[in-house]
Chain A
Amino acid sequence: MLEVSNLGYWYDHQDNSLFNNVNLTFEAGQSYAVIGQSGSGKTTFLSLIAGLDVPREGTISLDGQDIQQIGLTNYRKHDVSIVFQAYNLLTYMSPLNNVLTAMSITNSSHQGDQQFAKDLLGKLGLTDVQMTQMVTHLSGGQQQRVAIARAMAVDAKLVVADEPTGNLDEANTKEVVNLFQKLAHEQQKCVIIITHEPDVAAACDRQIKLSNHEFVVKDATTV
């Protein structure tokens, strides 16, 4: 589904490339964990496959089409949903409106949009009162769940998450990981999670380790 070919990226102020000549394939219905040390380039890799930045070398293709040809805005709108470590919610809205805004922007229609969004937030443990409060009134864990609900509410084929469980306790972490697994296995989405946590990585179908500027696939699925 998502194919990374000869991918290379470097920063202008650094002498060496962050990574070079990377070739990876990500399949629908599978979950992937990208692990590695801090500063190894995990988040930069995420920004490239999420269409937030442009690679210096190589291409990223979705179903055989270069995402730059699709158009990065279109790609982000229709094909990928992102969960950020810092939640990145719209702070002047309630959780419900955050989810509805994402659905509106991505043209993701579900029968009874409002009820669909409420059900989704309810499944992630938010009460009716919390759903209509300003998101700034929620705890870090609650805000993370809103961010996950927002990503789950849209019809994207690819879900990319950057440390999605970083602010959650053990119980909630398990619940969120289960949700991502369900997205991959039941909704046939491709889920890519950037994480530090070995438990989260172990729960995913495949692990990709980024070490010394190279990607190493633990479970041989790729080139």
Chain B
Amino acid sequence: MNFFKRAWLSLIAKKGRSVLMLIVTSAIMLFVFAGLLINTAANNATEQAKESVGATLTLSANREAAFKKMQQSQSSSSSSRPKLTTSPVKLSDAKKIAKLANVSSYNATTSTSVNTDGFDTVSTTSSSSPMGGMKSSSSTGDITINGVTNTAQSSSFSDKTNKLTAGRQLTSADSGTNNVMIESELAKADSLKVGDTIKVKSTSGSKTYQLKIVGIYKASSSATTQMGPGASDPANTIYTSNTFANTVKGSKYANTADSVTFTISNPSAVNQVKKAGKSVINTSKYSLSADDSSYQTVKASMKNVKSFANKIVWLVSIAGTIILALIVMLQIRERRHEIGVLLSMGESRFKIISQLFVELAMVMVVSLVIAGIGGQFIGNKLGQQLVSQQTTTATSSGTSQAGPGGTTGRPSGAPTGNMQGGMRQNMSNQSSKAKQAKLKVTLSPVQLVKLGAMGFVIILLSVVIAAGGILRLRPKQILLE
């Protein structure tokens, strides 16, 4: 009968002691496992954030350089009124950046406005608003045109602020066409549906364009609440191809855009792409700005979660080792007589220690099963609690950094009709995506093996620490005194 069988007989004969050991080791393993699961889940969440949260680079006119140029011309010439002159982005320049590594796609955006011809815009009704109930109409146009390469990549659609309700979205295949997407409220007000045509005319009134409705979208109410007094109702925004928006703006805007947004496939490479992008463009004309704040928010919160999970693993492991070592020491005191009998028969101390180790190992195997079942549950609860705390902190700090207005406003004369709204949408987008960074705590065989390895290290250390008591013992002292 070897020490394995002795260990087994001891375990089944002393059921109370075995159950107590099982409870203690299960509790230790549960928390170690929960920590390991949270740690792995945080790693996975950070990896997933690279793909799902994404990062973008935006190429636009360099306003700072243009402003400095304006100031210089103001000081050199006092006769004429200074003028801020910015260049639209040439698509040929944008394509150079699109070819760089880690750039998955790009979306050119041009904004302008037109007036209706033969249909009505949607009126913004608000009892508190001085503009309430009035039909919106001004020299800047009563319809806002958002010219894009692909609506699906536009932030309003990707963050679900706008949702397609009928027809289809605009794609790069719509380039050069007069296909449009209109808002559902506008469609309802004018009884328009997919396939119908509408007419708009330029703000100068010189040109009329016939547009074909290929899709209808619904703008969320949250976008409406962000509007300030005098702003156009979001229902009066129509999406067209970038080329059509350029056509409305004038022939000199052909093959240009107000800004081009590049989607970066790997958010951690955003700075690398930005550096490479700056080397292929004229930085005095253009600015290239990175937006990986969503990724950084998720990364930072996951880093905190990982750090906490690591602390759990270490603390529980150390405390568990000490607790188990104390229990084994108490067991050795209780089992001195048995150890003495085995020593008197010539059993080696190594095998006696091994028997104690095997007894604990058998208990540990059952504890692993219990931890496997319970660890995922505890890990999920604990992980979500941690993430919700981290996300709340990260989101509130992100909002406060943006300031109450969300932006500093736009310079006069700049062709950025919806810049403020865009920035607000972007912040909203970041917050919602940061909230989406949930921990998916899942059990895998690798983690169980890792837990098992940790468990066996813990019991090995416990037995080795407690074994000093056995090594000091002499059979005569135990059996005859």
Distance A75 CA – B475 CA, assembled complex (angstroms):
13
CB A95 to nearest CB in B, in angstroms, measures 13
Within 8 A of A (CB), among B39-55: none
- Residue in A43, A75, A91, A104 whose CB lies within 8 Å of B2: A104
Complex interface: chain A residues within 8 A of B342 (CB): 90, 105
CB B333 to nearest CB in A, in angstroms, measures 16
Interface size class of chain B, counting residues whose CB lies under 8 Å from the partner chain: 20 to 34
Q: B480, A52: Cβ atoms under 8 Å?
A: yes
Residue of B nearest to A94 (CB): B9
Complex interface: chain A residues within 8 A of B479 (CB): 52, 84, 86, 88
Number of A-B contacts (CB under 8 A): 71
Interface of B is mostly: helix
The verdict on A101 contacting B1 (CB below 8 Å), with A47-B480, A91-B338, A93-B9 known, is yes
A78 interface hit (Cβ, 8 Å)? yes
- Residue in B9, B343, B349 whose CB lies within 8 Å of A97: B9
The verdict on A92 contacting B14 (CB below 8 Å), with A50-B344, A105-B346, A106-B345 known, is yes
Q: A88, B346: Cβ atoms under 8 Å?
A: no
Q: Max chain A CB contacts within 10 Å: which of B340, B341, B343, B474?
A: B341
Complex interface: chain B residues within 8 A of A134 (CB): 13
- Residue in B10, B347, B474 whose CB lies within 8 Å of A52: B474
A102 interface hit (Cβ, 8 Å)? yes
Q: A92, B348: Cβ atoms under 8 Å?
A: no
CB A150 to nearest CB in B, in angstroms, measures 8
- Residue in A52, A74, A91 whose CB lies within 8 Å of B344: A52
- Residue in A44, A47, A92, A102 whose CB lies within 8 Å of B13: A92
Residue of A nearest to B13 (CB): A92
Q: B1, A100: Cβ atoms under 8 Å?
A: yes
- Residue in B338, B341, B346, B480 whose CB lies within 8 Å of A73: B346
Distance A91 CA – B9 CA, assembled complex (angstroms):
10
The verdict on A52 contacting B13 (CB below 8 Å), with A47-B480, A105-B345 known, is no
Residue of B nearest to A103 (CB): B1
A119 interface hit (Cβ, 8 Å)? no
Residue of A nearest to B6 (CB): A101
Q: A82, B10: Cβ atoms under 8 Å?
A: no
A118 interface hit (Cβ, 8 Å)? no
Q: B341, A74: Cβ atoms under 8 Å?
A: no
Residue of B nearest to A89 (CB): B341
B410 interface hit (Cβ, 8 Å)? no
Within 8 A of B (CB), among A57-96: 73-78, 81-82, 84, 86, 88-93
Complex interface: chain A residues within 8 A of B2 (CB): 104
Distance A221 CA – B480 CA, assembled complex (angstroms):
29
A199 interface hit (Cβ, 8 Å)? no
Within 8 A of B (CB), among A102-152: 102-106, 134
- What does the 1/0 interface line of B326-346 toward A look like (CB < 8 Å)? 000000000001101111111
> What would 10 more interface pairs be, CB under 8 Å, given A88-B344, A105-B345?
A53-B476, A73-B349, A76-B344, A77-B345, A92-B10, A93-B13, A97-B1, A97-B9, A102-B345, A104-B2
28 A-B residue pairs with CB within 8 Å: A43-B480, A52-B474, A52-B479, A52-B480, A53-B475, A53-B476, A73-B343, A73-B346, A73-B348, A75-B346, A76-B343, A76-B345, A76-B346, A76-B475, A77-B345, A77-B346, A90-B6, A92-B13, A92-B14, A92-B338, A93-B6, A93-B13, A97-B9, A100-B1, A101-B1, A103-B1, A104-B2, A134-B13
Query: 9 closest Cβ contacts across the A-B interface?
Result: A77-B346, A92-B13, A76-B346, A52-B476, A53-B476, A104-B1, A47-B476, A52-B475, A101-B1
